[in-house]
Structure 1
Amino acid sequence: MKNLFLGGLLLLLFVLGAPRPAAAQGPTALGHIALYVVDLQKSTDFYKNILLLSEIPEPFKDGKHTWFRIGPHAQLHVIQGNKAQDHDINTHLAFTVPDLAKFMAHLDKLHVRYGSWKGEAGKFTPRPDGIKQIYLQDPDNFWLEVNDDKF
């Protein structure tokens, strides 16, 4: 009887301590995106004043990092130290705004260049599902999409 009890206890400990499959741990979620930039101040100004992102505290306090909130549980980490380079439009970050026309007017007021996927200045691209998209580049030539998706 004692051996049966110990065997059952060991089996229970094994089952409770066994690694669980990823599905049992919940879905993977986006935590942050990091962009390696040439000039931190230019990039910080762009994301704060052009894209209107909210800056949040960063733990390094070394003058090489700026962090922004980009969703309820996601951040954009901008890190200084890169050399200038070009980027392909197919690799881009996409942001959503409640009113794309108002955001386009904001860009126009600040003389920020933007356009459609085809590169038509001041135009938007309509997606097949009706969402409107524009594309622009940050100071480091990273491509950004801004759209009016309502999810």
Structure 2
Amino acid sequence: MKPPVFLLALCLFAGAVSQSFAQTSATKEPAVLNHIAVYVTDLTKSTAFYEKLLHLQQIQEPFKDGKHIWFTLGAAGQMHLILGAKQTTVHDKNEHLCFSVSSIPDFIQLLDQEKIDYANWPGTAKEPTIRVDGVKQIYFQDPDGHWLEVNDEVKHRK
């Protein structure tokens, strides 16, 4: 007994849709962060800032022109400092980089040691913001005025 033409057509259509969906799903992988570029006025000063405060590790950079420093951010990618920014740039706090540490009090102690001002989101000096999920966060600026957030979200992931 031959199967009805309708059933054969339905099977072929289902197979084609299934194959098409599999191909479409494979091409819709999310993009992965590769690097963040931060334009700076003083490469030496900014390098020291990020190494000392955030303990970022330098990695090889291909240009070797004295205008670039690259740091690893682990699985998150890299951060590139690029020399050439003009001193007059004003940065908005809404545009910031965020790093997580295991202890906000220990990090605050380092900021105090280095005489770096910090505040919570509304701007109250020397006070962390405590988010609704219990994460503590503080905000401060790098030597070029780029805003940074440091929080203890990594502690809350466990």
TM-score range (shorter-chain normalised) is 0.7 to 0.9
Which consecutive unaligned segments of at least 5 residues does structure 1 have?
1-14
Say whether residues 1:123 and 2:124 are aligned partners. no
CA RMSD of aligned residues (A): 1.5
Distance 1:120 1:49 in 2: 25
Return the structure number with greater helix share: 2
What's 1:77 paired with? 80
How far did 1:103 drift?
Answer: 0.8
Distance 2:64 2:152 in 1: 35
Q: Provide runs of 4+ in structure 1 moved above 3 Å.
A: none
Distance 1:36 1:143 in 2: 13
What's 1:32 paired with? 35
Distance 1:27 1:62 in 2: 33
Query: How many residue pairs align between the two structures?
Result: 132
Say whether residues 1:104 and 2:111 are aligned partners. no
In structure 2, give the amino acid aligned to 1:148. Answer: D
In structure 1, give the amino acid aligned to 2:103. Answer: D
What's 1:66 paired with? 69
Moved more, 113-122 or 89-98: 113-122
Distance 2:76 2:133 in 1: 27
Distance 2:72 2:133 in 1: 27
SS state of the match for residue 72, structure 1? Answer: helix
What's 1:8 paired with? none
**Alpha-carbon deviations, 1:67-102, whole Å to 9, x = none?**
111232410000001102110001101100011111
How far did 1:128 drift?
Answer: 1.1
TM-score, normalised on structure 2? Answer: 0.78
Distance 1:91 1:52 in 2: 22
Distance 1:100 1:69 in 2: 22
How far did 1:51 drift?
Answer: 2.1
What's 2:9 paired with? none
Distance 1:39 1:127 in 2: 34
> Which has more radius of gyration?
2
Distance 2:93 2:76 in 1: 26
In structure 1, give the amino acid aligned to 2:86. Answer: K
